């Protein structure tokens, strides 16, 4: 039974559990909001649109976060544009 409480003895594990709980709560709230707005698959589409940006950043030797931010922003802007025009 000691192995069940062993992770709580490390500070980094406590931090990881705290952050996981906060992200889980935020995502639960956000998913309910997106469901009510009719945008339930926007998050899935955005997560898949980030992958080419990360791959492109890797090929160019740039930070992965920069590629993810640029491709995610481009995809979000495109989705917003298409949503307003259709």
Please report, for the chain, the start and end positions of each structural domain, with discontinuous segments joined by +. Answer: 1-39, 41-86
DSSP helix/strand/coil, 41: coil
Q: What is the pLDDT along the chain (86 residues), one digit of tens a residue?
A: 888 888 888 999 999 999 999 999 998 888 888 888 877 788 788 889 999 999 999 999 999 999 999 999 999 999 889 888 88
Q: What stretches of 1-86 show up as alpha helix (H) in DSSP?
A: 2-5, 11-37, 42-60, 64-85
Q: Would you say 50 and 72 are in contact if contact means Cβ atoms under 8 Å apart?
A: yes
The pTM score is 0.58
Residues in CB range of 13: below 8 A, 6 or more apart: 7
Residues in CB range of 67: below 8 A, 6 or more apart: 53, 54, 55, 56, 57, 58, 60
């Amino acid at each position: 039974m000691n192995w069940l409480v062993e992770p709580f003895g490390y500070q980094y594990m406590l931090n990881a559990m705290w952050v996981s709980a906060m992200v889980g709560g935020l995502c639960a709230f956000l998913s309910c909001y997106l469901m009510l707005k009719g945008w339930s698959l926007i998050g899935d589409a955005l997560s898949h649109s980030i992958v080419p940006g990360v791959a492109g950043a890797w090929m160019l030797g740039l930070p992965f976060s920069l590629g993810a931010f640029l491709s995610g922003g481009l995809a979000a802007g495109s989705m917003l544009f298409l949503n307003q025009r259709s």
